[in-house]
Amino acid sequence: MAYYLAGINALSFLLHAIHTRRYADRKAGWIRALFTVTVLAGGSPGALLAILLLDRKAEKRNMMALVLAVCALIVQVILLLFCSGAHRQELTFDVGGFFGQHRWLVLYLAAINLAACAAFAIDKFRAVRHLSRIRIVTLLLLAFLGGTVGALLAMYVFRHKTNKDYFAVGVPMILVTHLVLLFYAMNA
């Protein structure tokens, strides 16, 4: 297993390095597809390391790779914890009970979702008026911090950022990651 993880992470790192150095200015769909497969197959730490070392500046061209690597890493760590037995014997799906015990979390999620929705609305307003925009990293960070529902709502209500893969695919991917985190938190 250790050899597999070392190999898949090295391959993931290498594929991102090749794409960054050789194909950054043009499409290389087969490399991106292979990169995605290696990340999902356990190579998320290698991908994240490559992004942090080779693509330090957050840009549109590397944003989807960053979202994929972070989401995959979180889910893979939770799967590893589950496989190692770091959970309750009896699994629960009582979301209402969990949020009833953690009321502060409900308030936090309400606030961050309102902030994410407002940020997307402001960005749309600024885009229509050709004013300075809110950075992509800021919008995605609001989603990562728990504002995925507000981000998705604003994306489709205001018809904003729905054509960009790092939002149209990335935000739902972040939402799935949050659901996995919630399930683990309820059963840890």
pLDDT for 24 equals: 57
Q: What is the pTM of this model?
A: 0.89
Give the dihedral sign, CA 142/148/152/153.
Answer: negative
CA-to-CA dists, residue 134 to 66, 122, 143, 168, angstroms: 18, 8, 14, 17
By mean pLDDT, which of 98-107, 139-148, 156-165 is the weakest? Answer: 156-165
pLDDT for 188 equals: 86
- Share of residues in the chain with pLDDT > 70 (%): 96
22: left (phi over 0), alpha (psi -120 to 50) or beta: alpha
Which residues, in sequence order, are CB contacts of 46 under 8 Å at separation 6+? 8, 9, 10, 11, 12, 13, 38
DSSP 57: S
Residue 73 has pLDDT above 90, yes or no: yes
pLDDT (tens digit, 9 = 90+) per residue, 85-112? 888 888 889 999 999 999 999 999 999 9
pLDDT for 146 equals: 96
Give the dihedral sign, CA 122/145/104/184.
Answer: positive
Instruction: Take residue 38 and report the two structure tokens written for it.
Output: 């290696």
Which of the four pLDDT bands, split at 50, 70 and 90, describes residue 23?
Answer: low
